[in-house]
Amino acid sequence: MNYQWYPGHMTKARRMMEENIKLIDLVIEVVDARIPMSSRNPDIDNLAKNKARLILLNKSDLSDERLNQQWIDYFAQKGVLCLKLNSRSGAGIKQMNSAIERACHEKIERDKKKGIMNRPVRAMVVGIPNVGKSTFINAYAGRACAKTGNKPGVTKGKQWIKLSKTVELLDTPGILWPKFDSEIVGRNLALIGSMNDEVINIEDLAFEAVTFLKNNYSGNLSERYGVDEDEETLEIMDAIAAKRGCLKRGAMTDYEKLAGIILDDFRSGRIGRITLEKPGEEI
Ligand SMILES: Nc1nc2c(ncn2[C@@H]2O[C@H](COP(=O)(O)OP(=O)(O)OP(=O)(O)O)[C@@H](O)[C@H]2O)c(=O)[nH]1
């Protein structure tokens, strides 16, 4: 991902979202299951006010199963239906239609009372960059992706994908920005690889990743690299470097190369399934 958000972009994104949302019954918010808070837009609760809501913990194949459930419970307590998903493999997609019906239960019931029986639920996918919005739309729409085209009352040019008798999905996702003003959010986005590595000190980031693993996922580092986790972070990193041949002249650790290896492993789940945020923590 290589997004640069400027005030102009944000205003435009917000305007598009505000325009599209008028047509929408259900806002499907895709977040990264490893950082369910940091990968949300700070304004989403306002933007999606008075709409049916569904939060998808995407990339749940990479996140901690125990924390997936805690997050699902956390959002449920706030009255928002939340499901975990792996858009890449399609795991969790089957449950979507019934989840959508559950999320839109009130709207469907209201329609029924008015004698409207078959008006589809109109849904839109939103989320910050790189959370997997397009992958989800493709996986969900699948081959049965029938575009319903421009209908009366629908802004010209918008395409609706008919997903079932009850659901139509806007084909383009709404892209929103993350909460920039929080250092924790920036760090968490960087750790999962949703920031441009060129603007980050990757050596510091790898240090953070190792410290986090050492403190929260005991056993993962030793299993992946065969290192002693009781050592200090820097010693652990040097030990990984020695094992992985990340050495410069004079047997000095090549921290840049090492950071690349550690971050790559961290982001792809090779050091285990990891969730960086727990419900209730401040970001
Ligand atoms: N492991 C895993 N990877 C996923 C999953 N969903 C998406 N990805 C990967 O995440 C990356 C980003 O996915 P996209 O679908 O392009 O994300 P997006 O939100 O549409 O991104 P933007 O277009 O930048 O807004 C891709 O490399 C996907 O293959 C998932 O459930 N699990």
SS (HEC) of 189-217: HHHCCCCCHHHCCHHHHHHHHHHHHHHHC
Residue of minimum CA distance from atom 21 in ligand 1: 130
Residue of minimum CA distance from atom 2 in ligand 1: 59
Dump pLDDT digits (tens) for 162-176.
888 788 999 889 999
pLDDT for residue 147? 45
Here the tokens at position 151 are 């209908």
What is the spatial distance between Cα 41 and Cα 218, in angstroms, rounded to a whole number? 31
SS3 for 58?
strand
Dump pLDDT digits (tens) for 67-121.
999 999 999 999 999 999 999 999 988 888 888 888 888 888 888 889 987 788 8
Ligand 1, from 64, 84, 88: best to mutate by most atoms within 8 Å of Cβ?
Answer: 88
Go through the domains of the chain in sequence order and give each one's CATH number.
Answer: 8-171 (3.40.50.300), 201-268 (1.10.1580.10)
Q: What are the residues facing 215 on neighbouring strands? A: none
pLDDT for residue 157? 60
Residue of minimum CA distance from atom 17 in ligand 1: 132
Does residue 90 contact residue 80 with C-beta atoms inside 8 Å? Answer: no
Find the residues whose C-beta lies inside 6 A of ligand 1: 1, 58-59, 61-62, 86-88, 127, 129-135, 175
